[in-house]
Amino acid sequence: MTAPDQYGQDVQIWQMTDPPSIPGASQALADGIIPRTVMRFSSASERGATLSAPVEGMTTWLEDSNSFEIWNGTGWITPEPDLVTGTTGLSASAGFSLNDFFGHRQGRVTSIDIFLTRTGGTIDASGGNIADTVCCVVPTSWRPTHSTINGCWDNGFVHGGFVVGVDGIVTLRTAGGDIGNGTNLRLHVTFLRTVF
Protein backbone atom coordinates (compact mmCIF):
# COMPACT_ATOMS: atom_id res chain seq x y z
CA MET A 1 0.00 0.00 0.00
CA THR A 2 1.43 3.42 -0.94
CA ALA A 3 2.14 5.99 1.78
CA PRO A 4 2.30 9.82 1.69
CA ASP A 5 5.69 11.44 1.10
CA GLN A 6 7.66 12.82 4.03
CA TYR A 7 7.18 16.47 2.90
CA GLY A 8 3.41 16.53 3.37
CA GLN A 9 2.67 17.04 -0.34
CA ASP A 10 0.37 14.02 -0.63
CA VAL A 11 2.60 12.33 -3.21
CA GLN A 12 2.01 8.59 -2.83
CA ILE A 13 5.24 6.59 -2.56
CA TRP A 14 5.38 2.84 -3.34
CA GLN A 15 6.43 0.91 -0.21
CA MET A 16 8.78 -2.07 0.01
CA THR A 17 5.85 -4.10 1.39
CA ASP A 18 3.77 -3.39 -1.75
CA PRO A 19 3.65 -6.02 -4.46
CA PRO A 20 6.25 -5.21 -7.16
CA SER A 21 4.81 -3.06 -9.97
CA ILE A 22 7.00 -0.63 -11.83
CA PRO A 23 4.00 0.81 -13.78
CA GLY A 24 2.03 1.19 -10.54
CA ALA A 25 4.89 2.85 -8.68
CA SER A 26 5.61 5.14 -11.65
CA GLN A 27 1.95 6.13 -12.00
CA ALA A 28 1.61 6.90 -8.27
CA LEU A 29 4.70 9.11 -8.44
CA ALA A 30 3.58 10.85 -11.66
CA ASP A 31 0.07 11.46 -10.29
CA GLY A 32 1.56 13.13 -7.25
CA ILE A 33 4.29 15.19 -8.90
CA ILE A 34 2.97 16.36 -12.29
CA PRO A 35 0.12 18.48 -10.87
CA ARG A 36 2.70 20.23 -8.67
CA THR A 37 5.04 21.20 -11.51
CA VAL A 38 4.68 23.98 -14.07
CA MET A 39 2.58 22.28 -16.72
CA ARG A 40 3.02 23.46 -20.33
CA PHE A 41 0.08 23.87 -22.72
CA SER A 42 -0.12 25.32 -26.21
CA SER A 43 -3.12 27.51 -25.22
CA ALA A 44 -5.69 28.19 -22.52
CA SER A 45 -8.14 26.09 -24.54
CA GLU A 46 -5.87 23.05 -24.39
CA ARG A 47 -5.31 23.63 -20.69
CA GLY A 48 -9.07 23.83 -20.08
CA ALA A 49 -9.68 20.61 -21.98
CA THR A 50 -6.91 18.82 -20.06
CA LEU A 51 -7.47 20.19 -16.55
CA SER A 52 -11.20 19.87 -16.05
CA ALA A 53 -10.92 20.23 -12.24
CA PRO A 54 -7.83 22.31 -11.41
CA VAL A 55 -6.66 22.46 -7.81
CA GLU A 56 -5.65 25.67 -6.03
CA GLY A 57 -1.92 26.29 -6.53
CA MET A 58 -1.60 24.54 -9.92
CA THR A 59 0.72 26.46 -12.24
CA THR A 60 0.85 26.50 -16.02
CA TRP A 61 2.82 28.01 -18.88
CA LEU A 62 0.83 28.94 -22.00
CA GLU A 63 3.01 28.82 -25.10
CA ASP A 64 0.77 30.93 -27.36
CA SER A 65 0.80 33.93 -25.02
CA ASN A 66 4.11 33.22 -23.22
CA SER A 67 2.32 33.58 -19.89
CA PHE A 68 2.69 32.00 -16.48
CA GLU A 69 -0.59 31.50 -14.60
CA ILE A 70 -1.71 30.06 -11.26
CA TRP A 71 -5.12 28.62 -10.35
CA ASN A 72 -6.26 30.54 -7.26
CA GLY A 73 -9.32 28.38 -6.57
CA THR A 74 -11.70 30.38 -8.77
CA GLY A 75 -9.70 31.26 -11.89
CA TRP A 76 -6.33 31.39 -13.64
CA ILE A 77 -4.36 34.50 -12.66
CA THR A 78 -0.96 35.95 -13.53
CA PRO A 79 1.00 36.45 -10.30
CA GLU A 80 1.90 40.03 -9.39
CA PRO A 81 5.62 40.80 -9.54
CA ASP A 82 7.21 42.16 -6.37
CA LEU A 83 7.29 45.91 -5.86
CA VAL A 84 10.85 47.26 -5.94
CA THR A 85 11.66 50.68 -4.47
CA GLY A 86 14.75 52.86 -4.40
CA THR A 87 15.72 56.22 -2.90
CA THR A 88 19.45 56.51 -3.54
CA GLY A 89 21.91 56.98 -6.37
CA LEU A 90 20.48 60.08 -8.10
CA SER A 91 23.08 62.80 -8.81
CA ALA A 92 22.02 66.45 -8.95
CA SER A 93 23.74 68.51 -11.63
CA ALA A 94 25.51 71.83 -11.07
CA GLY A 95 22.97 74.52 -10.20
CA PHE A 96 20.59 72.07 -8.48
CA SER A 97 20.40 70.27 -5.15
CA LEU A 98 18.57 67.03 -4.43
CA ASN A 99 15.78 67.03 -1.87
CA ASP A 100 14.30 63.56 -2.51
CA PHE A 101 14.30 60.75 -5.03
CA PHE A 102 11.81 57.88 -5.12
CA GLY A 103 11.76 55.03 -7.63
CA HIS A 104 9.04 52.37 -7.77
CA ARG A 105 8.96 49.41 -10.14
CA GLN A 106 6.58 46.50 -10.44
CA GLY A 107 7.43 44.17 -13.28
CA ARG A 108 8.35 46.41 -16.22
CA VAL A 109 6.35 49.46 -15.04
CA THR A 110 8.72 52.04 -13.58
CA SER A 111 7.80 55.31 -11.89
CA ILE A 112 10.28 57.91 -10.66
CA ASP A 113 9.71 61.06 -8.61
CA ILE A 114 12.49 63.61 -8.23
CA PHE A 115 12.39 66.67 -5.94
CA LEU A 116 15.11 69.25 -6.70
CA THR A 117 15.86 72.84 -5.75
CA ARG A 118 17.35 75.30 -8.22
CA THR A 119 20.56 76.65 -6.62
CA GLY A 120 21.98 78.38 -9.69
CA GLY A 121 20.93 81.47 -11.61
CA THR A 122 17.48 82.03 -13.06
CA ILE A 123 16.58 79.94 -16.09
CA ASP A 124 14.65 82.37 -18.28
CA ALA A 125 11.53 81.20 -20.07
CA SER A 126 10.38 82.73 -23.34
CA GLY A 127 7.04 81.60 -24.72
CA GLY A 128 7.30 78.31 -22.82
CA ASN A 129 10.81 77.59 -24.07
CA ILE A 130 13.97 77.44 -21.99
CA ALA A 131 17.52 76.51 -22.86
CA ASP A 132 17.89 72.74 -22.43
CA THR A 133 19.18 72.38 -18.87
CA VAL A 134 20.55 69.16 -17.38
CA CYS A 135 19.30 68.95 -13.80
CA CYS A 136 20.28 65.44 -12.64
CA VAL A 137 21.28 61.91 -13.59
CA VAL A 138 19.04 58.95 -12.68
CA PRO A 139 20.68 55.76 -11.32
CA THR A 140 21.20 52.94 -13.83
CA SER A 141 18.47 50.68 -12.47
CA TRP A 142 15.85 53.45 -12.85
CA ARG A 143 16.61 54.52 -16.43
CA PRO A 144 14.51 53.91 -19.54
CA THR A 145 15.90 51.04 -21.60
CA HIS A 146 14.61 51.67 -25.12
CA SER A 147 14.47 55.42 -25.82
CA THR A 148 14.23 58.90 -24.34
CA ILE A 149 11.06 59.39 -22.26
CA ASN A 150 9.11 62.63 -21.75
CA GLY A 151 7.92 63.66 -18.29
CA CYS A 152 6.33 66.63 -16.53
CA TRP A 153 7.49 68.83 -13.67
CA ASP A 154 5.92 71.58 -11.60
CA ASN A 155 6.64 73.78 -8.60
CA GLY A 156 3.10 74.71 -7.63
CA PHE A 157 3.04 77.77 -9.90
CA VAL A 158 5.10 76.96 -12.96
CA HIS A 159 5.09 73.70 -14.87
CA GLY A 160 6.98 72.29 -17.81
CA GLY A 161 8.44 69.27 -19.51
CA PHE A 162 11.64 67.28 -19.26
CA VAL A 163 13.21 64.22 -20.86
CA VAL A 164 15.17 61.34 -19.36
CA GLY A 165 17.43 59.35 -21.66
CA VAL A 166 18.73 55.80 -21.57
CA ASP A 167 21.93 57.34 -20.19
CA GLY A 168 19.93 58.61 -17.19
CA ILE A 169 20.46 62.28 -18.00
CA VAL A 170 17.41 64.37 -17.06
CA THR A 171 17.05 67.56 -19.11
CA LEU A 172 14.53 70.35 -18.48
CA ARG A 173 13.09 71.37 -21.88
CA THR A 174 10.10 73.66 -21.30
CA ALA A 175 8.71 75.95 -18.59
CA GLY A 176 5.59 78.07 -18.23
CA GLY A 177 7.67 80.73 -16.45
CA ASP A 178 11.14 81.52 -15.18
CA ILE A 179 12.86 79.03 -12.86
CA GLY A 180 14.55 81.20 -10.24
CA ASN A 181 17.10 80.43 -7.55
CA GLY A 182 15.38 78.63 -4.66
CA THR A 183 12.63 77.23 -6.86
CA ASN A 184 11.57 73.68 -5.94
CA LEU A 185 11.00 71.38 -8.90
CA ARG A 186 9.00 68.16 -8.65
CA LEU A 187 9.58 65.85 -11.61
CA HIS A 188 7.50 62.73 -12.32
CA VAL A 189 7.57 60.13 -15.08
CA THR A 190 6.24 56.60 -15.52
CA PHE A 191 7.39 54.28 -18.30
CA LEU A 192 7.83 50.64 -19.31
CA ARG A 193 11.29 49.10 -19.28
CA THR A 194 11.89 46.80 -22.23
CA VAL A 195 14.54 44.79 -20.36
CA PHE A 196 15.21 44.07 -16.68
pLDDT for position 9: 64
pLDDT for position 135: 98
Query: Could you give the 3-state DSSP secondary structure of residue 106?
Result: strand
pLDDT of residue 153 exceeding 80, the answer is yes
Report, as an integer, the average pLDDT of 115-128.
96
Say if strands 159-164 and 149-154 run parallel, antiparallel, or are unpaired. antiparallel
Distance CA 87, CA 67 (A): 31
Laid out side by side, the sheet with 59-62 consists of 38-41, 59-62, 67-71, 76-77
Q: How confident is the model at residue 80 (pLDDT cuts 50, 70, 90)?
A: confident
pLDDT for position 160: 96
Distance CA 71, CA 77 (A): 6
pLDDT for position 182: 96
**Dihedral sign for Cα atoms in the order 126, 131, 136, 141:** positive
Q: What percent of the chain has pLDDT over 70?
A: 96
pLDDT for position 5: 66
pLDDT of residue 30 exceeding 80, the answer is no
Report, as an integer, the average pLDDT of 130-159.
95
183: phi > 0 → left, psi -120 to 50 → alpha, else beta; which? Answer: beta
Q: How confident is the model at residue 45 (pLDDT cuts 50, 70, 90)?
A: very high
Domains of the chain (ranges, CATH numbers): 3-77 (3.40.1620.70), 83-192 (2.60.40.1830)
At 10, give phi and psi (nearest 5°): 60, 30
Q: How confident is the model at residue 176 (pLDDT cuts 50, 70, 90)?
A: very high
Give the least confident one: 1-5, 51-55, 89-93, 170-174: 1-5
Amino acid at residue number 168: G
Report, as an integer, the average pLDDT of 82-87.
95
